[in-house]
Amino acid sequence: MPELPEVEVSRMGIEPHVKGQVVNHVRIHNGRLRWPVPEEVSLLENTVITAVKRRAKYLLLESDVGTAILHLGMSGNLRVVCQSEPLKKHDHIELVFANGLALRLNDPRRFGAFLWQNPQQQHSVFAKLGPEPLTDLFDAKHLYQASRGKKVAVKQFIMDNHVVVGVGNIYANESLFKAGIHPKREAGKISLARYQKLTPIIKDTLAAAIEQGGTTLKDFAQSDGKPGYFAQELLVYGRKGEPCVRCETTLQEIRLGQRSTVYCTKCQR
């Protein structure tokens, strides 16, 4: 599933082609996604997309009449194409613009979403989300206070969207390694000082991934809409059985919350 940096790069990719454009048509080729596509999305027709934003892993296409909310699910992607280009298999929704382009949501597994939010209202999908990790609302004090009394493993804790949004599996693995924290440690037993070390590492790890993705994106209109997991030099994720880059101890893998967790038994405590 795309993680926050990949979704943010998708936002960066479509924004130049979508913001300020008039929507001529909203075409629903298959409305049976994770949730049924609401009829209200047709309100976008004959309106201007005023902003392209992101909240957690949701993309928001704002207009004066409301906001379309997109989620890519596990297999979805967005493509900006000429509206005359033939549809591909699994192109379920498209916004056709007055400038001749179209934004198409392709989702083979249909776990994505295309929802609607009225002006001055908040959709229920946003109701219990924690702060964005790259904002000042996310800091060590927030993590420390939220963790008190929690016996859950710290890796699962920082991946909980109620605590902070967008710290997915890859970046949780990498951040905990850089901070020297064992992924199985109980969140409630980690000191404020260690959270003070972890928090900026999470921010830097996500920001670096976004920057690298933005650099390699080039022209989103010519891409396949899949920025993917950027070609980073990952320190632990996917490196089970390889030597630690710091101490050369063989990296171990366990399962936490059914997710692959790779760590160094020597460097992480």
* pLDDT tens digits along 70-85: 999 988 889 999 999 9
Residues 6+ apart with CB under 8 A from 87: 29, 94, 104
pLDDT confidence tier of residue 216, bands split at 50, 70 and 90: low
pLDDT at 225 over 70: no
Annotated catalytic residue 86: no
pLDDT in tens, 156-210: 999 999 999 999 999 999 999 999 999 999 999 999 999 999 999 999 999 998 8
**Residue 94 annotated in active site:** no
Identify the active-site residue in 11, 57, 155, 239: 57
Q: Hey, which residues does 240 pair with through a beta bridge?
A: none
In sequence order, the β-bridge partners of residue 114 are: 70
Which one is predicted more confidently, 68 or 7?
A: 68
Catalytic residue among 3, 6, 15, 62: 3
pLDDT digits (tens, 9 = 90+) for 20-47: 999 999 999 999 999 999 999 999 999 9
Buried b (16+ CB within 10 A) or exposed e, 175-189: bbbbbbbbbebebee
Whose CA is closest to 142, among 178, 186, 192? 192
**pLDDT for position 217:** 56
Q: How much is the average pLDDT of 238-252?
A: 97
What is the full DSSP assignment across 112-169? -EEEEE-TT---GGGTT----TTSTTS-HHHHHHHHTT--SBHHHHHT-TTTSS---H
How does the average pLDDT of the chain come out, rounded? 92
128 closest CA partner among 101, 146, 140, 114: 146
**183 classed as catalytic:** no
> Is 3 one of the annotated active-site residues of the chain?
yes
Q: What residues are designated binding site?
A: 90, 109, 150
For each of the domains in the chain, give its residue range(s) and CATH number, in order of start: 4-118 (3.20.190.10), 140-263 (1.10.8.50)
Q: Which residue ranges make up the annotated binding site for DNA?
A: 90, 109, 150
